Structure 1
Amino acid sequence: MRLFKDKESKKRLERWFGRQWVNLIMLATRFLTVERARAFGRIMGNLGFYLIPRHRRQAIRNVNLIYGKEKSKKERREMIRRTFIHASCFGWETIYLYTHNITDGKVKGLVREVKGLEHLEKAMARGRGVIGLGAHLGNFPLLARRLDTLGFPSTSIMRQMRDEKLETIFTIMRERFRQRSIPKLPVSRAIKESIAWLRQGNLLMIYVDQRSGRGVKVDFMGVSTPTPTGAAVFALKTGAAVLPIVNVQDGDGFYNLLIGEELPVVKTGDQKKDIFLNTARFNKAIEKYIRLYPDQWFWFHNRWKGVKLNEN
């Protein structure tokens, strides 16, 4: 007997449960310290590894595809378990900061080290805007707030959630993190607003690590896969500088904001070729950080959709 009449009914129920879970964490974190919130996150992450088979299967597939020849089955399984724990801790920690009215002091206390700030300062000084290459790695909402405390407000392009009530919650949350955003849809308006933001000499964060059906196929983690081209298109269009920016956790539970050196933008005069070459280069730059901190990346996303294991 089928539990759901159609896929949409199942998705509606999943969204409802997701909303209730967020509301529950919001209520719980009001009475917790950040250390206790992280502790609950670790417990829930361990449970999630066993109780959320859909995400576990996707993570297993992705990790097997990328690390199948490098790591043993035991090592891959442990890596996935740590990924669940990190994702859960990240969620609890982020909601804790939201419910406790995050301050600049708290942000600086959590993100203790900023490495490579001189690269961003040099690029911003040109006045042509900067494209920050980001990834769903570490604590990326906290990245925007830490940049803001350094005097570099940023914005990013975001797709709105289908659950309007949950989108409202996350919109308020992003505002408290000073995580400004440009709606991804309609695309034409998103492009126009992004270019205008860069031409004003501002910082635009673009998260290049997720799949894009409209993108170009380039190598990512050793596998050719469709990749978003926005960063390359905007860099070629505006002359903005491009450099990777990530916020990753160290062994003590605090974060390091890592700003890489500026990446040269290839300009051959062939637009199609330039978009391909720059997209590939930008992908490689962000891949380096994911490989350094694999437990902190979002392996649950279907990044290599349609790729078979024997194609690696």
Structure 2
Amino acid sequence: MSDQQSQDDPHAQPAQRLGDFLSNALIVGVIRLALALPYATRVRFVGWLVEHVIGPLAGYRKRALDNLALIWPEMPKERHLEIARGCLNNVGRSFIENYSAKDFPARMAQNTPQGPGAAALEDAVRANRPVILVSGHFGNYEATRAALVARGYDIGGLYRDMKNPYFNAHYVKTMEAFGGPVFPQGRKGTAGFVRHLKDGGQLVLLFDQHVLYAPVLDFMGEPARTALSAAELALRYDAQLIPFYGIRQPDGLSFETVLEAPVPHSDPTTMTQALNDSLSARINQSPDQWFWVHRRWRADED
């Protein structure tokens, strides 16, 4: 690495590397402690930890509250706080579920995917037609992928590298443990992703995070930059575009795995707005299951 590259990359600096190493060591310690516990206790413990300790200290609860105030300004602040706490608890539960590489997939293997998209997926696979399964950071999005992989589907995923390289190394392994290939965002990853799709494979995409300079669409009644890539790929490769959700149930441990009807092919903007509307409906039904901690509404900042 050149001197200029070292200056441009904060992770190349000794202080940043040390910070990344120490923060990852803390995360790994929590993971190892949690994985030593029985499954149900483990999930409840990390949910509590993120809700009451990590979320408030890291500023995630404040960000969730700010987002809730933007979207539902008339809602009582007590309800905002209740949703934010439920959101953080769900984030923690999802995190450790995804690190439970044996227990979580085994539990999800008992799920039968519901909804009209399940039959559409079967028909597409039978016809060797590619499928793009699209979701947001809602419930636990890996629940449905795990349930489908258990039924023999070869479902790949596209992931965004974490800023902390130490954390990213084991984070990627958790996704690979669910079965199906995973591809990093970027030229190399996209090439493998597209190859898998062209071969008639199934792919999972999450579309609900801010993407710099992406078109501004409506999401929960506010302008939000939203990538059109899922719809563009569906049109380019004649793939079914199916919204899906892993909806956490009242016991906090089980899920309803739902595949909605495929989004009709039209144009990328119309199709992506349909995805936004689908996710918005789910959030309105179960607001504490969406990850309000993301900086989703930043259209005015670009």
Q: TM-score, normalised by structure 2?
A: 0.86
Output aligned runs, 1:272-283, within 5 Å: 274-283=267-276
Q: Alpha carbons of 1:180 and 1:136: their partners in 2 closer, same or farther (altered >3 Å)?
A: farther
2:291 corresponds to 1:287: no
CA distance in 1 between counterparts of 2:78 and 2:61 reads: 15
Q: Which residue of 2 aligns with 1:303?
A: 296
Over the residues paired in the alignment, what is the CA RMSD in angstroms? 2.4
Match of 1:120 in 2: 121
Unaligned runs of 5+ in 2: 1-8
**Counterpart for residue 247 of structure 1:** 246
Cα distance in 2 for residues equivalent to 1:11 and 1:296: 33
1:139 aligns with 140
In 2: Cα distance, 1:195 partner to 1:288 partner = 30
Map residues 162-311 of structure 1 onto 2, 5 A cutoff. Answer: 162-178=163-179, 180-186=181-187, 189-252=188-251, 253-266=253-266, 274-305=267-298, 307=300
- Match of 1:278, SS state, is helix
Instruction: For 1:281 and 1:50, locate their aligned partners in 2 and report how far apart those are by CA, in whole Å.
Output: 31
Gap change, CA 1:44 and 1:263, over 3 Å in 2: same
The 3 A distance-change label for structure 1 pair 179 and 52 is: farther
Residue 50 (structure 2) aligns with: 45
CA, structure 1 residues 120+250, in 2 after alignment: closer, same or farther (shift >3 Å)?
Answer: same
| Aligned twin of 2:97 | 93
Matches of residues 147-162 of structure 1 in structure 2 within 5 Å?
147-162=148-163
Query: Any conservation in 1 of the 2:132–2:230 contact (CA below 8 Å)?
Result: yes
- What residue number does 2:130 align with? 129
Secondary structure at 2:107 match in 1? helix
- The alpha carbon displacement at 1:282 in A equals 2.3
* Cα distance change, pair 198–277 in 1 and its aligned pair in 2 (3 A): same
Q: 1:293 to 1:126 in 2, by over 3 A?
A: farther
Percentage identity across aligned positions? Answer: 21
Report the counterpart of residue 80 of structure 2 in structure 1: 76
3-state SS of paired residue (1:52): helix
After TM superposition, the structure 1 stretch with the greater mean CA deviation from structure 2, 151-160 or 113-122, is 113-122
CA distance in 2, matches of 1:14, 1:57: 23
Alpha-carbon distance change, 276 to 104 in structure 1, aligned in 2, over 3 angstroms: closer
8 Å CA contact 1:48–1:84 kept in 2: the answer is: no
Secondary structure at 2:129 match in 1: coil
CA distance 1:14–1:303, shift in 2 (3 Å): farther
**3-state secondary structure, aligned to 1:258:** strand
Moved more, 219-228 or 11-20: 11-20
Match of 1:25 among 10, 23, 30: 30
Does the CA contact (< 8 Å) of 1:49 and 1:81 recur in 2?
A: no
Distance in 2, matches of 1:50 and 1:289, equals: 23
Deviations 1:135-180 (A, max 9, x none): 1111223332221012212112212223222122112211212253
Q: Report the Cα offset of residue 49 of structure 1.
A: 6.8
Given that 1:182 and 1:193 are in contact with CA atoms closer than 8 Å, whether structure 2 keeps it comes out as yes
Q: Give the one of 50, 53, 64 matched to 1:59.
A: 64
Asked whether the equivalents of residues 131 and 243 of structure 1 are also in contact (C-alpha less than 8 Å), the reply is: yes
| 2: CA distance, partners of 1:134 / 1:102 | 23
Question: CA offset at residue 307 of structure 1?
Answer: 4.9
Determine the C-alpha separation between the residues in 2 that align with 1:14 and 1:58: 23
- Contact in 2 for aligned 1:41/1:89 (Cα 8 Å): yes
How many residues align structurally?
287
Amino acid at match of 1:286: L
Residue pair 1:135, 1:207 contacting (<8 A) in 2 also: yes
CA shift for structure 1 position 304: 0.4
Match of 1:4 in 2: none
How far the C-alpha of 1:289 sits from its partner, in A, is 2.1
- TM-score under structure 1 length normalisation: 0.83
Aligned to 1:299, what secondary structure does the other structure show? coil
Per-residue CA distance 1:267-293 (angstroms, 9 max, x = gap): xxxxxxx22222222222232223222
Q: Which amino acid aligns with 1:154?
A: I
